[in-house]
Amino acid sequence: MTDEPVPNNPLPAVSVVVVDDHAIFRSGLRSDLDSRIRVVGEAATVEEAVAVVRARRPDVVLLDVHLPGGRGGGGAEVIAGCGDLGASTRFLALSVSDSAEDVVAVIRAGARGYVTKTISGAGISDAVFRIASGDAVFSPRLAGFVLDAFGTAAVASTGTELDRLSARELEVMRLIARGYSYKEVARELFISVKTVETHVSAVLRKLQLSSRHELTRWAAERRLL
C-alpha cells in the first residue's frame, strides 16, 4: 500500500508575549525561539501581563505559572484577566513546576497546554506553532494530570460515541488527544499528513466537537488517553 507524500508547507509567523518574572529567562527564551515567532511584548507580573496581552493581542502567550502581583493567582489570574479576548489569543503555560495542582489550575483557567522549562528551543517553538493552530500541547507526563482532573464526568455514553468511529479513527483520535502533531501521527501510523487531517475531520464531526482542544478534554473526561 502506497501513501501520498507528506507536504512540506511553511508555517505562518506567530506573535507571542513572554510572561516570566526572570529577565534572564525571558532573554534566553527569545533567542531560542524559531525565527518565524515574533515576540511582541514581555511582562514580569500579573498586572503587567494582563496589560501587555490586552494591548498587543498576540497569537500565543508563553506564561509562567507563578508570578508576583495581582491577588496571588499567578498565571491562572492572567488568563482570567484576558478572558474576553476569546480564541484569538491562546495561552501556553511554561513553568519549572510539574505539580498536578499547577497544571490543573491553568488548564481550568483556559490554557491550551502546559510544558516544563526543561523543553528545548525547538520543542517550545513547535509547541507555540501547535498552540497557535488550535492544538493542545502537554509535556508527556503532564497529560495524566489533565486526565485525572477531568475524569469525574459522566461516561455512560462513551461506548456509543466510540462506536461511531472506525478502528483507524480511534487510533488517530487517541494520538491527537494526547497532543501529537499531525506529522507525528502520520509517522506513528505510517500514513500521510493529509490522511491524518481527513481522519481528524471525521472524528470531530462524528463526536460533534469543534477543535482539537475540545477533543483532548473530551478524551480526558472519559479516561481515554
Q: What string of pLDDT tens digits covers the 225 residues of the chain? A: 444 444 455 667 999 999 999 999 999 999 999 999 999 999 999 999 999 999 999 999 999 999 999 888 899 899 989 888 877 899 999 989 878 788 878 888 888 889 999 899 999 999 999 899 888 888 777 766 665 655 544 333 455 577 777 878 888 888 888 788 889 889 888 899 999 999 999 999 888 888 887 888 777 766 565
| pTM reported for the whole predicted model | 0.63
Q: How far apart are CA 210 and CA 150, in angstroms?
A: 19
Calpha distance 127→4 (Å, rounded): 26
| pLDDT value, residue 90 | 93
Give the model's pLDDT for residue 222: 67
Asked if 195 and 126 touch (Cβ cutoff 8 Å), the reply is: no
Torsion, Cα of 194, 113, 219, 224 (10° steps): 100
Predicted confidence at residue 4, as pLDDT, reads: 46
Hey, what's the cell of 222?
472519559
**Cα–Cα distance between 190 and 202 in angstroms, integer?**
19
Distance CA 69, CA 56 (A): 20
Residue 114, all three cell numbers: 502546559
* Percent of the chain at pLDDT exceeding 70: 84
What is d(CA 173, CA 178) in angstroms, rounded to the nearest whole number? 9
Residue with cell 506567530: 14
Specify whether the CB–CB gap between 83 and 54 falls below 8 A.
no
Look at the chain and count its residues. Answer: 225
**Dihedral in degrees, nearest 10, Cα atoms 37, 38, 43, 47:** -100
pLDDT on residue 165 = 79
Query: What local confidence, expressed as pLDDT, does residue 224 receive?
Result: 65
pLDDT of residue 150: 56
Is residue 83 within 8 A of residue 60, CB to CB? The reply is no
Q: What pLDDT sits at residue 70?
A: 86
pLDDT digits (tens, 9 = 90+) for 84-95: 887 789 999 998
d(CA 6, CA 19): 35
